[in-house]
Structure 1
Amino acid sequence: MAEAHADIQACDAAVTLAFSVLGKRWNGMIVSALGNGSSTFVALRRAVVGISDTVLSERLTELADTGLVARTVDAGPPVTVSYALTAGGSGLLPILDQLGSWASATLERRTP
């Protein structure tokens, strides 16, 4: 039986906070999709393959509440709602690029 190591410490609070947002399924992909510029709900749904309307709506609300995404309503006609990254959200793009590079180098070599 493996013995527990006493020198292992709890996760850093900042890392825990970051993963409370980015650890939710789809959030990283939404931020990545918005890295190409502002987008409508329909365009985001197409860009994030497999996400449902309900989940996309929930995730956009969460990302807006955390200050990573801004929601803009253009009164039109027609009324148009668009989403864009804030400065905080844009700050994640280099990190997501690094994560993608790591995944390509490390995870794609594995066979299930």
Structure 2
Amino acid sequence: MADHGEQVCRRVDVSITRVFELFGKRWTGPIVSVLLQQPVHFADLRRAIPGISERMLSDRLTELGAAGLVVREVDEGPPLRVSYRLTRAGAAMEPALKELALWAQTYLVVDEGGC
């Protein structure tokens, strides 16, 4: 019989909670993965992520900026263009994200029956 006392049942690590509060949101991972490659203009970033709306992309970029992972840069025009790049902290996520991608390729079954 398993021991379910206080010593066995521990709270989840606060750091893990914070990571998944941010990365558990839809679109955050794909946005970061595109930005890992290079800084990207808003319109190009939207085209790189099929299905994301402008509003959702803007919201996620704002959240990533508030978390200190993304920087918004205005390219003076004409035309005026906005680009985004990862901060040093954002770029430091690359090894962890690559490991997650490898895990997903190995253990997550892909349904190839759809379009």
Name structure 2 gaps, 5 residues minimum: none
Determine helix, strand or coil for the equivalent of 1:59: helix
- Which residue in the other structure is 1:20 paired with? 21
State the partner residue of 1:40: 41
CA shift, 1:8, in A, is: 2.2
- 1:110: Cα distance to partner? 7.7
Q: What corresponds to 1:9 in structure 2?
A: 10
Instruction: Give 1:23 deviation, angstroms.
Output: 1.0
Q: How does 1:59-98 map to 2 (within 5 A)?
A: 59-98=60-99
Distance, in Å, in 1 between the alignment partners of 2:80 and 2:31 is: 22
Q: Deviations over 1:42-89 (max 9, x none)?
A: 111111121111100100011011110000001211111100000011
Unaligned runs of 5+ in 1: none
Structure 1 pair 111/91, CA: closer, same or farther in 2 (3 Å)?
same
Number of aligned residues = 110
Give me the CA root mean square deviation.
Answer: 2.1
Alignment-mate amino acid for residue 90 of structure 2: G
Once the 2 structures are TM-superposed, how far is the Cα of residue 109 of structure 1 from its aligned partner? 6.6
Q: Secondary structure at the match of 1:78?
A: coil
Give the distance between the partners of 1:34 and 1:19, measured in 2 at CA. Answer: 19
Separation in 2, partners of 1:111, 1:43: 28
TM-score, normalization by structure 2: 0.87
Percent of pairs with identical residues = 45
